Every structure is written in C-alpha cells, then in structure tokens.
Chains A and B, each alone.
Chain A
C-alpha cells in the first residue's frame, strides 16, 4: 500500500522494507520501514514489499533516491548491519546466494544496472538474520539492530535532501 506523504510534490525519496512477517527475522526490513513511516518524514514514500525483484525495479524507476531494508544471511553476526551503495558498486556475490528471495534485491539491482534503470542513489541496508524459520518474532540480536538502522537511514534521507536542494 502506498505510504504517507503522497500529497507532497517532491515525493521522490523511496524507502522500501522487504521481508515476510511470518518468517522470524525476515520481517526486520518491514519493521524498519514501518518505523520510518511512523516518523512521517515529508516527501518520503514508504513501501513494504515481499522482495520480488521485477516489482522493485518498477517501483524505484522514477525515484531520485531509494533506501532498501532487506534481510541478509551471510554467516555474519546476527543483527549486524551491512550497507551497499548499489549505484557505486556491484552487489556482493554473497548477496545473491543468501538473499531470501528468488529474483530478489541483488538480481534486481544488477539487472537494472545492465538495462540502465538504476535510480541515481540506491542504498541497500542488509540486516543479518539469525532465525528464518516460520515464526512471528524477531531474535533479540536482530531486534536491537532496528533503531540503529532506522537512525542511519534517517541521516541518509536528510543528506539526500540537502544534496537535492542546495541553498
């Protein structure tokens, strides 16, 4: 469902939370996105998605800047936060193997790059999961990462704004 702020003309900053509510830590991206939504930042559109890549490519096509929260499973510390500046560097190979989605974020980023459809700024925050079994609670380690990743994203959004509207 469309997030808030759709009445604001400069609604070109997009925050996308990706995951599944019923797979334990896989919900962390959705939860982080909801926290951003609750802040009601003007000009920021927030979406929550399952992570199907072709839909992501379509959603971010007209955005100036995009922040994605996704679950990452690379054997790193549970709850550790990994930041990828997709416009600047290829998505790490690990991401392809450990993404929880079939044609997921990494594939969508790389396909968009090949087809010249990447937005000017696209930042992926991967939060390393501990538990992906069916369930509806976050592990404590992953839950602890939420405030930090949200805070980092807010700083990022503020930086986008400054960059977009120089005085």
Chain B
C-alpha cells in the first residue's frame, strides 16, 4: 500500500467544527490527529469574580445541547463546597430534568446525526426523503425530552429555573402529570429504537477500553456516585485532579485528558452502560438482552444501540419520578456560602463532566475548572481511528473516510463543549 493522507476538514454533524487528519504509511501505525480548537479557559476565566449563584446560568451557555449537564455540575459542586446536599423531591426533580436532557440529546444523536452513517446517507435531510417515519419518530422523541426539561426548567434551552440549593420554583404536580402520556409513548418508541438500531450493521471492531463512569449504590448514575473504572479506580469527585491530568497537544487547542499514568480512557454511554448495566431499569436491561447487546459493550459503533437502551431507561425513570412526585414545601434550601472548594462529577449525555470551584467567604468564585466529556474522550477517539484504519486499510478511500467520520461520531463529540468555539480551520499538510 502506498502512503496516503485522509483528511476530513470539517467534521459535519458534530456540535461545533473540528478536523481530522489521518496519515497512513506502509509498515507504520497510522498517525491520527483530531483537531479541535480552543480550550475551555474562556468560561473558567469568565467565572472568576462572579458570584456562586451565577455559575449554573453562565456555564449553561457553554453548550446548546447539554446545558442541564453544566447546571447540574455547577450546583452540585457549589453545594459540596458549602457542605450540604439537596434531598427528597428536589433531588428527584434534578434527576428528572437531567433525564429530559438525555432523551433530547440521545434522540438527536441517534436519529439525526448517527443513523445516516449506518444507512449510507450523507445527512438526516437526505435520509428523511426515504425514511420520513423514522426521522419523525426521532423528532417526536426528542420533543418529549424538551418538554420534560421545559416542565422542570422553565424553558427548553438554557433552563432558567435551576439554582444552588434547588429551584427558583417547583413545578406543580399537574405540570408533570401532563408528561405521563407523552413519556409512555416515548418509552414504546425507545423500545422500538433499540430493536431498530440493533438491526443496523456494525463493523467487526472491538477495543479493550478503560471505561470511566459514575457508580451509585442504587441508581443508574446521573448526579451522584463515585467515579469508577473497570481497572480498579474508585474515587469521589474530590480526588478527580489527583487521578486525571490534562495535556496540551500541539495540533489541537483543546486539552487532552488522560489518567495520571498517561493512559487513555473512555467516558460516555458505552462506559456508563458497561459499568452500570445492573443499575438500568429492568425493562431497559431486557431491551438490551433482547437486542443481543451484552452487558459490557466494547464495540464503539454499537453506542447507537446503547444510547437507545438509555432512552428506555430514561423514560422509565422519568415516569417513576413523576409518579412519586409531591410538591416540595419550599423550592430551595437555604444556602450559606463559606470559603471552600467544591467538586462535582455528573453524567452528561456524552459522559463524565467535572466542575471544580473555589469560592471566598462572600460567595465570589476565585477559581474554576471545567472538564467536559469530549476532552476526556479525545485520546480514545484517536486510538479507535488508528486501530480502525489499520484493520480496514484496504477499504476504498471514500468508504474508509466515511467510516472514520462515523467512528468519531460514535462518541457524539460535542466539540463546542470541549472547545467553546466553532471556527473551522483547514489544516494543510
């Protein structure tokens, strides 16, 4: 085989803009560079000097797809700094709004961004011409997620109701009851989605990942739990910085995360699922089994099935929360700032999101650190591509490029989250 360079200058269908360069040389391991732009320092700098109360709403602006994740991480980190926990119905409402975001984000990715790769359409618009019912199901599922977020958060994008201590206003019971019928439809549609995605064809490709996700004693993880791996990691969020480091690589302005020993790891639905299969709702577990998805998934292309299983779980769990909902006496707990550092990891749709804030005695933020899931997955994405290209080097170039883009989209990379900027830059060799 002669030397060649594959380049995808714009990675379409990922949030923000990124580029991908793969250099293939005979007898050598392919060189893969996923280029994304600008580290998240702008938001970290913007937060310094602001009041702790502003963190949820400022960080929610980092991403148009996962604002709730940022809000949840911000409030939990602040609450850990101030030494209290939100319990009862307020805790349940936080789970509910997060599940709404999972439904929105997963439905968008499965139907509009990832499915076209499997069905050989350039994009969802072209796919919709031949499969309008499928696309409509995806849009309707996504809308149910929007409605859950809006019912708790006050609006669909950048919810305005989340605050440190709880919410500005608790939803009424009837506001949530209106969601029941829609979520029941969504649960059925999610089952159908598991069956449908499981029937797609997947490249024969597995890797032995270090999976990292939260693990909760009883629940499929969202806002709480210890950070664990399949290689023995088991730490609270407070110890994140002792175990994970960020490295600046010359070809990308985003920071690459790795374990302190230099090894890559993988966060996101596949890691979450593989470390928490036993915490999924019984029907989600059943849906996975029926679809032939093993409790540990090492084929990243099957992430589309895993997301579908998580959709079933999210609908189940949302329905359970709504059925048990009683309006809390007060929408928020009293918050007393104190000088301290707070930490939180939560499970964003794309995986572990880490926030750390130092706050002074007036509640002013003196330091902030934000590590989004996509920054943590960059090394794993590059390794997937290296191995994939090695294995499938003989595919026609167009086909190989297509599959490489698909391999990146396995991670639903939110490049805006990792980079907070979307200006494309063409790299010429």
Contacts and interface: CB of A to CB of B under 8 A. Distances in A.
Name, among A50, A53, A107, A110, the residue most crowded by chain B CB atoms within 10 Å (CB to CB). Answer: A50
Contact of A114 (B46, B125, B156): B125
B112 interface: yes
A39 B296 CA distance: 57
Interface residues of A, number: 31
B14 interface: yes
Interface stretch (B21-29, B134-142, B359-367): B134-142
Nearest to B132: A115
A97 B10 contact: yes
Contacts of B155: 1
Given A55-B156, A102-B13, A20 B64 contact: yes
A52 interface: yes
Contacts of A115: 128, 132, 135-136
Contacts of A21: 61
B112 A103 contact: yes
B68 to A, nearest CB: 13
B248 interface: no
A50 B42 contact: no
Interface stretch (B72-80, B267-275, B416-424): B416-424
A37 interface: no
B128 A23 contact: no
A49 interface: yes
B61 A22 contact: yes
A132 B423 contact: yes
Interface in B141-169: 142-143, 146, 154-158, 160
Contacts of B420: 22-23, 134
Contacts of A110: 125
A58 B143 contact: yes
Contact of A132 (B64, B139, B421): B421
A154 interface: no
B124 A107 contact: yes
B156 to A, nearest CB: 6
A1 B14 CA distance: 26
Given A20-B61, A103-B113, A133-B423, A55 B123 contact: no
Given A50-B158, A103-B124, A134-B420, A114 B129 contact: yes
A54 B108 CA distance: 8
A111 B157 contact: no
B112 A134 contact: no
A107 B14 contact: no
Contacts of B136: 115
Contacts of B43: 22, 134
A102 B16 contact: yes
B15 interface: yes
Given A22-B42, A103-B108, A134-B421, A114 B157 contact: no
Contacts of B424: 97-98
A53 B13 CA distance: 12
Given A22-B420, A52-B65, A111-B128, 17 more contacts: A1-B154, A20-B64, A22-B61, A50-B64, A54-B139, A55-B146, A55-B156, A55-B157, A58-B139, A73-B423, A100-B422, A102-B15, A103-B13, A103-B124, A110-B125, A115-B132, A133-B423
17 contacts: A1-B160, A20-B61, A50-B157, A52-B65, A55-B156, A58-B139, A98-B424, A100-B422, A102-B13, A102-B16, A102-B64, A107-B125, A110-B125, A111-B112, A114-B128, A133-B421, A134-B46
Q: Which 9 A-B pairs have the closest CB atoms?
A: A134-B42, A50-B64, A102-B15, A110-B125, A114-B128, A50-B157, A132-B423, A111-B125, A54-B142
Interface of B: 10, 12-16, 38, 42-43, 46, 58, 61, 64-65, 108, 112-113, 123-125, 128-129, 132, 135-136, 139, 142-143, 146, 154-158, 160, 420-424
